[in-house]
Amino acid sequence: MAFVPQNPLEDALLRAQTEIPARETFYDLLKSEVLAVPGDCGRAAGDDGFARALPGDALNMPTMRINGRIYHPIFSSIERLKTYRDTPFFFISGHHLFESKRNAEFLLNPGSDLGKVLTRDEVAYCMDTSATRKAPSSARKVYWREPKEYPQKLVEALRMLFANRGEIVSAALLEVAFSERAEPPHPLIGIEAAGDWRKTFAEISKITGTLLPDTIVDVVPLDRAKPMDELAAALLKAAPFYVRETKLH
């Protein structure tokens, strides 16, 4: 399903995939626009049925652990949140949220066709009002290659899993490193799926955690019909370690 923006923030998020000027707009709107956040802010719902957090409120927010990193899920609209999960939520401006949850990292629109990890550097950039602020991506470099030590056991376990999951179309693996992270090169798995694969993602995380407990393993969705960043394009060009068999009738 195509990502149809519901508001200016989502429009900027979509355009930022391919338009560099839109990335500045996205960060500005992320701070100024209202976000839908799962959890509770301690306030009763207003006349419209929604609670709205104010500065200083104690925010009770869930977290997600992905490959050893902890994120707060947040959403750019009610539609994105409802698609992911029907759960209590409140509204809060990005500015007030980031002030309240200093040094936290966030996952924007998990389960959506278009989302984004918001690192501490990116949140700091959003909150920086100086005229000389430097975009967090300006010095970011991504390096990838074929793994020097191929994780054969992991790949074999994933092949067995995918063979019993009809929504998985293909999967590829590269070794990746990011210039802004103090992390060693680690596996990056790209999954091309036809349909909802969130349950499978949880199973993948369990397998990677069991077989490589001391190794970061990133997993990203791939979609040939959408704008791609350089890593997604590299994964789609790499030789897949799994391809769904086409059954003849």
One domain for residues 158 and 108: no
The pLDDT confidence band at residue 75, using thresholds 50, 70 and 90, is very high
Place of tokens 């719902």: 45
* The pLDDT of residue 131: 62
CATH number at residue 169: 3.30.300.30
Instruction: Answer whether residue 26 shows pLDDT above 80.
Output: yes
* The pLDDT of residue 216: 81
Q: Average pLDDT, stretch 65-80? A: 86
Q: Which residue has the higher pLDDT, 23 or 10?
A: 10
At position 107, the amino acid (one-letter code) is L
* The pLDDT of residue 5: 84
Task: Output 117-123 pairs: Cβ under 8 A, ≥24 positions apart.
Answer: 117/71, 118/30, 119/180, 121/180, 122/27, 123/98
One domain for residues 98 and 194: no
d(CA 207, CA 213): 9
Q: Which residue has the higher pLDDT, 222 or 179?
A: 222
Which residues span the domain enclosing 218? Answer: 142-243
* The pLDDT of residue 87: 87
- Mean pLDDT check: name the lowest of 90-94, 136-140, 216-220: 136-140
Whether 3 is covered by a domain: the verdict is no
- Mean pLDDT check: name the lowest of 9-13, 62-66, 128-132, 190-194: 128-132
One domain for residues 117 and 37: yes
Whether 17 is covered by a domain: the verdict is yes
CATH number at residue 69: 3.40.1350
Return the percentage of the chain with pLDDT > 90, whole number: 30
* The pLDDT of residue 139: 45
Return the percentage of the chain with pLDDT > 70, whole number: 86
The pLDDT confidence band at residue 145, using thresholds 50, 70 and 90, is confident
* The pLDDT of residue 195: 75
- Phi/psi at 19 (5° precision): -115, 110
Distance of CA 207 to the CA centre of its chain: 20
Whether 64 is covered by a domain: the verdict is yes
Q: Is the pTM of this model over 0.75?
A: no
One domain for residues 39 and 123: yes
Q: Which residue has the higher pLDDT, 167 or 247?
A: 167
Distance of CA 111 to the CA centre of its chain: 8
Q: Which residue has the higher pLDDT, 197 or 208?
A: 208
Q: Which residue has the higher pLDDT, 196 or 43?
A: 43
- Mean pLDDT check: name the lowest of 1-5, 121-125, 182-186: 1-5
One domain for residues 88 and 192: no
What secondary structure letter does DSSP report for 75? B
Q: Do the beta carbons of residue 211 and residue 131 sit within 8 Å?
A: no
One domain for residues 14 and 41: yes
d(CA 206, CA 203): 5
Q: Do the beta carbons of residue 29 and residue 8 sit within 8 Å?
A: yes
User: If you average pLDDT over every residue of the chain, what do you get?
Assistant: 83
d(CA 236, CA 166): 19
Q: Which residue has the higher pLDDT, 195 or 144?
A: 144
* The pLDDT of residue 228: 60
